Amino acid sequence: MKFALHLPINTTSFGQVSLRILEEIFLMNLEPSLFLIGNIDFGGAQVSEEFKNWVNTCVKKGTRSHSRKDPIFKLWHVNGSLESFSDRQFLLTFHELDSLTETEINTLKNNDKVLVSSPYSVNIFREHGVGNVDYLPLFFDSKNFRATNKSYFTDGRITFNLCGKFEKRKNHVKAIRTWIKKYANNSNYSLQCAVFNNYLSQEDNNKLINATTEGKKYFNLNFFGYMANPITYNEFLNSGDIVLGASGGEGWALPEFQSVGIGKHSVIINAHAYTAWANNENSVLVNPSCKTPVYDNLFFHQGQEYNQGNVFDWDENAFIDGCEKAIERVKNNKINTAGLKLQSEFTVQKTVNQILSLF
C-alpha cells in the first residue's frame, strides 16, 4: 500500500493525535512517506529510538520517492489545508463552530474526503454544501493515560478539575467564576485548573488568571502551569474526582475524554463534539442555553476568511445543578465505571484502520 502522511508532531492536540496515529502505523510495520508540518517536538512523550529512526526514514522517503499520484492523509486546520503534496488528499480537521465561510467551503471541497471528529461538525459541513465529509472518532490514549488508583488527598475533599488552553470559547472564566460562587473557601471541595495558553507569555497567563478571580485568593482554588509531560498530566487527571467540560465548542475535548476514560466523573455541556462520547451514563449532562459569538480578537477575529461563527453557552444555575449531581455520583461510587467503557469503545486501532481504509 502506497500512501503518505502530512502531520504535525508537537505538544498541541493536533500533534498529540498525530503522534499516536504514527506510533500505531509504526507498529503495523508500514512505511509511508511522511511530510511534517513544523518542527518535530516530542515534548515529554516517551518514544523509542527505533520509532524516531522510523520517522526519519519516512521523511526521507517522502522527499526521495513520493509521487503526487499517491494518496495522502493530512491532519491540520482548514486554514492551510489547501496546500497539498498529493492530488488525492484526505483531510482530518477539528472544527468547533456552527458555520463555514466561502473560503472554508472551497478549501474543504478541494479534498477527496474531509474527516471531522464530531457528528455535530459533519452536520454543519453538510448544511453548508460540503458533501465529501465523514465522521472519524478519536481515541482513548491508553499509552499515556491510565488510572493510578492513588489517594491524592486525605481530608475527604471532592476535587474538580478544569483543563485546556485558556481561551474564550472554552468558557473557562465563566466556569471558574460560577464554581467560586458556590464552593469558594469550602474545605469540602477544591478546584484545580490546568488551564494555560502556550501562545501567550507566562505574564499574560497570570494576568488572565488574576482577572478571572478579580484579584482574590481562595484556599481551595489552585492554578497549574502547562504540563507537557504526559506522566505529570496523567497524575493531574487522576488527582481529581470530577472533570468540568464547560466548553462552548470542541473538536473532541481530549482532557475531558481521557479523564472520563480513566474513571473520573464529569459535568459536560450536552453539545458539539462532547455528544460524540458523553452520555447520561458516563457524565452529568447540562443542556446549553443559547449560542454566543466566538470572537476573542486573539484566535477568532470577526470578518476574516476562516473561523467565523458561534459557540454554545450555558446557564450558571444549570451548571451548578450538574456539579451537585456529579458530587452525589462520587459519593455513591468513586469510580465512574461507565466512563471506563470509553477505553474499549474508542481505540487508536479503530481510528487508524478507518484512515487506512480510505486508501
| Tally of CB atoms within 10 A around 306 | 16
C-alpha dist (Å) from residue 323 to 6, 170, 209, 243, 255:
41, 17, 22, 10, 18
Mean pLDDT of the region 107-119: 97
pLDDT for the residue numbered 182: 98
pLDDT at 281 over 90: yes
Q: By the 8 A CB rule, do 267 and 322 touch?
A: yes
Question: Given the C-alpha cell 488510572, which residue does it identify?
Answer: 147
- The per-residue pLDDT of the chain, averaged, comes to 96
Q: By the 8 A CB rule, do 248 and 269 touch?
A: yes
pLDDT for the residue numbered 223: 96
pLDDT band at 330 (very low <50, low <70, confident <90, very high): very high
pLDDT at 170 over 90: yes
pLDDT at 135 over 90: yes
pLDDT, tens only, 202-248: 999 999 999 999 999 999 999 998 888 899 999 999 999 999 999 99
pLDDT at 117 over 90: yes
pLDDT for the residue numbered 225: 83
C-alpha cell at 262: 480513566
pLDDT at 329 over 90: yes
pLDDT, tens only, 97-107: 999 999 999 99
Mean pLDDT of the region 255-276: 98
For residue 341, give the 3-state DSSP assignment.
Answer: coil
pLDDT, tens only, 31-76: 999 999 999 999 888 999 999 999 999 999 999 999 999 999 999 9
Q: What are the structural domains of the chain?
A: 4-136 (3.40.50.11930), 158-345 (3.40.50.2000)
- 102-106 LR contacts (CB < 8 Å, sep 24+): 103/305, 103/306, 104/78, 104/79, 104/305, 104/306, 105/129, 105/130
pLDDT band at 1 (very low <50, low <70, confident <90, very high): confident
pLDDT for the residue numbered 96: 97
pLDDT for the residue numbered 226: 86
AA identity, residue 197: N
pLDDT band at 198 (very low <50, low <70, confident <90, very high): confident
Residues forming a β-bridge with 92? 75, 115
| Lowest-confidence segment of 134-143, 174-183, 192-201 by average pLDDT | 192-201
Mean pLDDT of the region 286-311: 97
